[in-house]
Structure 1
Amino acid sequence: MDRWVGIDEFVAVAVCGSFTGAAEQLDTSVAQVSRRVKTLEGTLGYQLLNRTTRKLSLTTEGNVFLSHAKHLQHALDDATSALRQRDSQPAGKIKMTAPVMYGEQYIMPLVNEFMTLYPNIQIDMELNNNKLDLIEQGFDFAIRLGNLKDSSMRARLLSHRQTLVCGSPEYLAKSVPVKSIKDLEQHVCLVGRSSVWRFLDNGKEHQMNAKGRLRCNSGWALVDAAKQGLGLAQLPHYYLIEAIEKGELVEVLNTYRPESEGIWAVYPPRRYLPTSVRELLEFIAKGLKTP
Structure 2
Amino acid sequence: MAHWDGIEAFVEVVRLGTFAAAARRLNVSNSHVSRQVALLEQELGLPLLYRTTRQIHLTDAGERYYARCRELLDGFREAEFDLQSLQERPHGVLKLGCATTFGERFIAPLVNDFLRLHPQLEMRLYLTNRQVDVIDEGYDVVVRMGTLQDSSLVARRLCERREFVVASPSYFQGVSQPHSVAELSQHRCLIGTRDQWRFDIDGLHREVRVSGPWHANSGLALLDAALKGLGLAQLPDYYVMPYLARGELVDVLTAFQCRDAGVWAVMPHHRQHAAKVRQFVDYLVDNLPGLLEQACDGNPA
Unmatched segments (≥5 aa) in structure 2: 8-41, 47-60, 294-301
Report the Cα offset of residue 230 of structure 1.
Answer: 1.8
Q: Give identity over the alignment, percent.
A: 34
Q: Indicate the residue corresponding to 2:43 in structure 1.
A: 57
Q: Indicate the residue corresponding to 1:82 in structure 2.
A: 82
8 Å contact from structure 2 (residues 177, 252) kept in 1: no
8 Å contact from structure 2 (residues 154, 272) kept in 1: no
Q: Indicate the residue corresponding to 2:151 in structure 1.
A: 151
Report the Cα offset of residue 111 of structure 1.
Answer: 1.2
Letter in 1 for 2:105: Q
Query: How many residues matched?
Result: 242
Letter in 2 for 1:82: D
SS at match of 1:235: strand
CA RMSD across the alignment: 3.6
Letter in 1 for 2:231: G
SS at match of 2:259: coil
Letter in 2 for 1:168: S
Q: Indicate the residue corresponding to 1:161 in structure 2.
A: 161
Report the Cα offset of residue 100 of structure 1.
Answer: 0.8
Letter in 2 for 1:279: Q
8 Å contact from structure 2 (residues 166, 252) kept in 1: yes
Tell me how far apart the structure 2 counterparts of residues 219 and 210 of structure 1 sit (CA, whole Å).
17
Unmatched segments (≥5 aa) in structure 1: 1-9, 17-55
TM-score by length of 1: 0.66
SS at match of 1:144: strand
1:27-75 residue CA offsets vs partner (Å, 9 max, x unmatched) = xxxxxxxxxxxxxxxxxxxxxxxxxxxxx93377x98679736744652
Letter in 1 for 2:222: L
User: Which protein has the larger Cα radius of gyration, Structure 1 or Structure 2?
Assistant: 1
Q: Indicate the residue corresponding to 2:227 in structure 1.
A: 227
Report the Cα offset of residue 242 of structure 1.
Answer: 3.7
Report the Cα offset of residue 12 of structure 1.
Answer: 4.5
TM-score by length of 2: 0.65
8 Å contact from structure 1 (residues 11, 66) kept in 2: no
Tell me how far apart the structure 2 counterparts of residues 193 and 173 of structure 1 sit (CA, whole Å).
27
Q: Which runs of 4+ in 1 moved over 6 A?
A: 62-67
SS at match of 2:230: coil
Farther-moved stretch of structure 1 (183-192 vs 233-242): 183-192
SS at match of 1:126: strand
Letter in 2 for 1:267: M
Change in 2 beyond 3 A, CA 1:177/1:97: closer
Change in 2 beyond 3 A, CA 1:89/1:210: same
Tell me how far apart the structure 2 counterparts of residues 66 and 181 of structure 1 sit (CA, whole Å).
44
Report the Cα offset of residue 223 of structure 1.
Answer: 0.7
Letter in 1 for 2:219: G
Q: Indicate the residue corresponding to 1:192 in structure 2.
A: 192
8 Å contact from structure 2 (residues 2, 44) kept in 1: no
Q: Indicate the residue corresponding to 1:120 in structure 2.
A: 120
Tell me how far apart the structure 1 counterparts of residues 176 and 283 of structure 2 sit (CA, whole Å).
45
